[in-house]
Amino acid sequence: MTPIRRAAPATRLRRRARRRLDTVRAAADARWGRPREGHGPVYLVAPAGNPNHGDEQLLAGWLRFLRHRLPGTPVVVDCHTPGQAAVLHHSEHPDVLFTDTLWRLAAQRAEAGAAAAVEFARRAVAELGTDPAVASGIDLARSASVIHLIGGGYVNDQWPHHLGVAAAAGELGRLAGARVVATGQGLLPCGEPALLADALRGYELVTVRDAGSLELLADSDLPVRHVGDDGWLALSAPGDLDAVAGGRLLIDHPVYSTDPDACRDVVLCAQSDLADPVAVADTVARVLADWGVPGERMSVVEAIPGGDRVVWDLVCARARAAVGGGAGSDGDDEVGRALAALQLHRARFVSFREVWAEGLPARPGQVWLTTRFHPHVFAAARGASGVAVRTGSAYYDVKHGSLADAGSPWVTVGVGEERVPAFPTAGGFDPEAVTGHVRAAVALAEELYPLG
């Protein structure tokens, strides 16, 4: 595989200058920003720190927004992996603290089921003696002015005990007199809508990112709106929206890379978690063999470090086995021989570390092949064509479907389907659609955090 190349000197200088400017702005925010009278911390609840590129971008977007919207107001991020989250996000806000209070409470009843997690988490935040180890963290949460479950697909049947996180947030709001909101939620699959609605009781507003999640709560008394994914807020960097929507060159946008070597013609981002990696690798192999794009024109992107290398390694192993002639070789594998001819070792591997530091390598004119949701969001927003691979799970397939409903022209293919989609050329979201989605996300954020 092609070694990682450093960005051009001019790009590095621009990036360095931007980071210096960000440092100056952060210092100014910390020195001259003043919290509003009686305004406690903003308490963000997020599935951050794993890390997962999509979840991290959602948190980064909210931290950037709050930094500029409410300068001087401290932010607390409650997430499942606070140490790694602090490493990734400490520079996004001048006064941010990371903890895992609500996630620890919910995890204590992970084996007992959703209802037990809801009951225990509520009791623990109301009665500090229930779990004295996190009493100080609960005190901190009770000081918040706003408790905000930011977007993602983490409150559903995939992780039933996460209902305890949502319920604890609502109970904290009741005890502290804080507003409690949730944005950009993907609540499917859900087999117990009544329990979900109970976990969300007391919320001032819940916004969802797909029609199915809206329908799920339609018969409840909750104030629910279908707004879209929080990822659109991450694209709202000042002065960059027109360039994002129009597919033009971006200089150090916080989401996108400007490295031409990383932004190759075909980009693969395939997961091994929440899917059968062997089945995913077979589908990816057949598509790449049919498209016939050589490795030197391909990039392979990691959204979850390590995990998103597995499928690619399986594809490459199949190519080697088809022509190796040694143990495990399969000379009858037509797909494997086609892959071998592409010289996949010349592809550019873009690690999560590089993606986080330099940005997602997405641009107009590309073609993406991905199982993942947020690479679909961000690459299609830049104007890239693509194929979304459906893994067959109720959790993931609804996410790609929500983007089709939002205007993405990407085609889909299911894992195991004999059909191989043609090389796509339709591009991504219409620029006006991108602008509309981002402006709707910003309008919601400004509604939740009014000035004055």
DSSP 6: P
Range with the lowest mean pLDDT among 91-100, 219-228, 234-243, 292-301? Answer: 234-243
pLDDT digits (tens, 9 = 90+) for 297-328: 999 999 999 999 999 999 999 999 999 855 45
Report pTM.
Answer: 0.90
Q: What pLDDT, on a 0 to 100 scale, did the predictor assign at position 330?
A: 59
Backbone angles phi, psi at 325, to 5 degrees: 75, 0
CA atoms within 13 A on the CB side of 296: 1
pLDDT digits (tens, 9 = 90+) for 207-219: 999 999 999 999 9
Higher pLDDT, 394 or 408: 408
Q: Are strands 224-226 and 205-208 parallel, antiparallel or unpaired?
A: parallel
pLDDT score of 36 more than 60? no
The three-state secondary structure class of 274 is: coil
pLDDT digits (tens, 9 = 90+) for 196-209: 999 999 999 999 99
Q: What rounded mean pLDDT belongs to the chain?
A: 91
Specify the length of the chain in residues. Answer: 452
Q: What pLDDT, on a 0 to 100 scale, did the predictor assign at position 20?
A: 61
Q: What pLDDT, on a 0 to 100 scale, did the predictor assign at position 237?
A: 72
pLDDT score of 247 more than 90? no
CA atoms within 13 A on the CB side of 278: 0
Could you give all domains of the chain from N- to C-terminal order, each with its CATH number?
38-234 (3.40.50.11720), 248-429 (3.40.50)
Q: Please, is 306 exposed, middle or buried when counting C-beta atoms within 10 Å of its C-beta (0-12, 13-18, 19+)? A: exposed
Name 179's bridge partners: 146
pLDDT digits (tens, 9 = 90+) for 322-380: 998 554 565 689 999 999 999 999 999 999 999 999 999 999 999 999 999 999 999 99
Cβ-contact 322, 330 below 8 angstroms = yes
Instruction: Label residue 3 by pLDDT band (50, 70, 90).
Output: low
Average pLDDT, stretch 58-70? 96
Distance CA 16, CA 361 (A): 19
